[in-house]
Amino acid sequence: MPQFDLQLLSPLVFWSIVSFGILLLVLYKFALPPVLEVLDERSSRIKGDLEKGEKLKSELENMKKDYAKKLSDAEAAANQKLQEAIKEAKSFRDDILQEAKQQGEEIRKKAAQDILHEKKKVMSEIREQVVSLSVVTATKILRHALDENAARKIADGVIKDLGEMV
């Protein structure tokens, strides 16, 4: 292997390497800082966006929890109102049934009293008719001679008269 000899190295290659080195120094000194600054800004912006995203995600989770809590509270309130309405309806129904039972009992008692009154009235009328018929029968018996045939005829006539009256 030959040794590195500058004489063998062509001046074009030498100046190409030197030019490339100078170009690297110029780029490092002048072009690299703005590029690094842009990259840093972009990195900062991405970090900020990620932080905003996390913050929004956290807020969204909190809003979701609040919504679920409010929904649960609303459902509980609706169920409570429904239970109250059902309880009130049952109470109203029970009141109506109780009132109907009381009215039915009053009507039954009044009907029983009316029936008893009518029964007494009818019995009184029957007594009056029996007394009246007894008087008529006794009068007829006393008018006729009291032989057995005459008494039977009178009794048959009275029974016939009773049948017509009733």
pTM of the predicted model as reported, rounded to 2 decimal places:
0.41
In a domain, 29, yes or no: yes
The predicted model gives 55-74 an average pLDDT of 94
Lowest-confidence segment of 10-14, 18-22, 161-165 by average pLDDT:
161-165
Total number of domains constituting the chain: 1
In a domain, 119, yes or no: yes
Domain containing 72 equals 11-165
In a domain, 115, yes or no: yes
What average pLDDT is seen over the chain? Answer: 85
In a domain, 2, yes or no: no
Alpha-carbon distance 91 to 97, whole Å? 10
Using 50, 70 and 90 to split pLDDT, how confident is the model at 1? very low
- pLDDT tens digits along 111-159: 999 999 998 888 888 878 877 777 777 777 666 655 667 667 777 777 7
Residue 144 in contact with residue 150, Cβ under 8 Å? Answer: yes
Residue 131 vs residue 46, higher pLDDT:
46
In a domain, 156, yes or no: yes
Q: Is residue 35 pLDDT above 80, yes or no?
A: yes
Phi, psi of 108 (to 5 degrees): -65, -45
Residue 2's pLDDT is: 53
Q: For residue 165, what are the contacts with CB-CB under 8 A and spacing of at least 6? A: 129, 133
The predicted model gives 19-27 an average pLDDT of 94
Cβ burial of 150 (10 Å; 0-12, 13-18, 19+) is: middle
